[in-house]
Copies of this chain bind each other. A is one copy, B any other.
């Protein structure tokens, strides 16, 4: 029934998620963990792991003694901030047709404290990439990404720069992006941003992400700033009681 890779848990999760989305269980209770374990011929622990991940995603919820239930309301929540998702996917999930344009690329030297954060040689330059994302041809996200040039080990084309940082780093730098540390900052659009995002002349509030990307060894490998038009994109989060 299932292969060896990806993990059984991951396959079971995907399998159950599909059945849930297809409303195979209706909107109510889904079969018990014991029954699912028998049906899929895996151990109950594997089922529990898979259900646990689906619960984290808000697809289901569980009640001790009662059962596991489809979380109908939350099937509508598309955007989950705590996961790194390509901006084009985010735009698509909110119902628009995404496009990306490369606004600028340059290699330049930067301030010494930034060099230090990157644990770079003072002589190093940085690759600065500016991109504009559109939703149905309307500008919605402007991004500004900095990657130390010494990390780049393969030649790249202009098209490669349009890829999400999360994909660019492993392909051209041999670095994995383990996580982003993201500061969420509100601001009033500057003149430059007003022009790039095609905003009205009146002062407009914008949401921005200031992100530091780290690899598995906790070394800074990318720094990014993103500016969102919040009238078109909604940034949404599920917040749960802390453990």
Contact = CB atoms under 8 A, between A and B. Distances in A.
Interface string A73-99: 110010011111100000000000000
Q: By CB atoms of chain B within 10 A, which of A10, A216, A218, A239 has the most?
A: A239
A118 interface: no
A193 to B, nearest CB: 12
A135 interface: no
Q: By CB atoms of chain B within 10 A, which of A10, A206, A235 has the most?
A: A235
A71 interface: yes
Given A82-B82, A218-B71, A182 B237 contact: yes
B188 A205 contact: yes
B63 A216 contact: yes
Interface in A178-212: 178-188, 203, 205-207, 211
Contact of A234 (B58, B183, B203, B242): B183
Contacts of A207: 184-186, 207
A183 B218 contact: no
Contacts of A205: 186-188, 205-206
Contacts of A10: 243
Contacts of A58: 179
Nearest to A6: B243
Given A188-B203, A230-B185, A61 B240 contact: no
Nearest to A238: B179
A174 to B, nearest CB: 16
Contacts of A84: 239-242
Contact of A180 (B82, B180, B238): B238
A132 interface: no
A53 interface: yes
Contacts of A181: 74, 77, 236-238
A59 interface: no
Give the 7 A-B CB pairs with smallest separation, nearest first. Answer: A186-B186, A83-B242, A186-B205, A180-B239, A186-B207, A182-B237, A184-B235
12 contacts: A10-B243, A74-B181, A81-B237, A82-B237, A82-B239, A84-B239, A179-B240, A180-B238, A180-B239, A182-B237, A185-B207, A188-B203
